[in-house]
Chain A
């Protein structure tokens, strides 16, 4: 029975002129987005690879110099684009793609594609994710809004209900029929996208690609299911197809346009980030007065005494390491907790904003889906924070290696230093710093971080199904 209803529903939809038009537009948009995204992704991979290789070589070819000067010369870390970024570029346009790593300073990421875009780009990118998040619900609404109210108006509902069909059979049959019609539009585009992905280079970059794709598909199917059952529910609850359409399009605009903007503004209001100038000045002042209130030079004087005591010496010249290098490294390390606190504060503010936005997903299913989609595609805040953390770890390691080398290789300079005989290191020394490699967050970590979003999406789906069953059970011709 359910199959018969689904088959009829499907046949009716695909023969409808509206379906042909909307499906064609949807397919064209999706394919264009996939192709544009794929082209953007392959370009980004090529550029990132060339830039990272180039900068690594530059590091080695920087010319003979003092190792600490080499640490000042620095290096760049370029954030690799994950393979699924072609589908959902998330916040990557706004977070920066490279970070300069140098001695004494922790830097913000630079190279934000958004800053190179025209004002029109603020209306959103044409990405596969954007289309599925915004236009897929609209497609479902257009295909399904007449399911019950349209049949009620045309009189076929009386005919159908007189045949001895239960309301639930009708609901499941229609859900299957409309769902199948939606799938035949979306599925080929997804397959084309997956095929392009499998042909792309560096697809092994993100581990568990199959799991990522499967999880992403499940999330989008749940999202489509939410709109499918909401459409059927509203269609069953309203008496006229026109009313059904108005209610559903209103909800679509609310969840797809209003709530993402509102959530962003609300999160900024409840979890504000400090003003950049003040934040920078505070950090600089904190560096100068010392993390724990003891200024760095005073702290280092204390350390010097401990060092002399440890080695049983009374002068710098007796130390078994180059004192200047020790001082440079110590001053570097005194800044670590200051950087961790102040950069951490900004990171915490952004993380809290993300959590507020996720919590608002209880009002709009687009919000949890958007978070999940960005996370699995590797274009969300967590991924960016991991990149910045890895870059900072690399920077500290780079400086440690250079200072350590200087400290061991220049002991003699403790007594013989002059401006002409300072230590000069070459490519062989610089090579002790390995090239920067970014390890994206583990998929399980990402999924665990977004457990609440999956729960929200599931609750939305359960609520939509529940509402649809309730509405179907209430179908009555009493006032028809």
Chain B
């Protein structure tokens, strides 16, 4: 059964899109990630124009993050004040990102830029994660206790001015690194169609030394607003959010996520992280291959006077 995507302007098999959404939803539930970094490249592999894949990916992340954010809000593991400071940076970053996105599109380098960014980011994150989880697995097999660096240890980040007190997180921290982190994540959201949780969470824990219990909830709070904002700005400037594609992906994704969560609870953390790392590296590799292999046609046509 085919369905016509009005914005992507092509007909696709609805079952492939449903399967893609369910699979990414399952993985995102299992690993506790938004799934944008998987859905966007998958859509590109399925010949959806990257412009549409990125904008629709951001929309999909809104749906996959909302239930997690609500849960953390109920449990009280969400620092609204910290989230708002992150959000200020996020909205600024998303706005700057959209501007860069439109400019790259006009000079015909958007697809290349998205692919390179994905290869670099997924390659780095995947390698770091694999490294860390393999070491953790080795330690676990030797029955050594896990030794995390103690939070609260002061670094250069804690000597910056404009300090603010975040009661819920029980930290006293400069607003500058928080806004800067939010800004970087906002740029990634609008340029890559990801929520950015897989970068924001480690950065909050290791760079800003924010207590782990509020990190996930607070990052989800920022992600929802930034992805929602990005969806609207993409819709208004590039007309590139495909509502049909997004709806199919979201419905399949949220259902898949519910089952993924159940499977995820049965697996051990280090194993999960090692699996996710391999998956991330596989996506990065697949994208890297498309950059290097000689294309079937060196020429391409776009409508309009870009």
- Chains A and B belong together in one complex: no
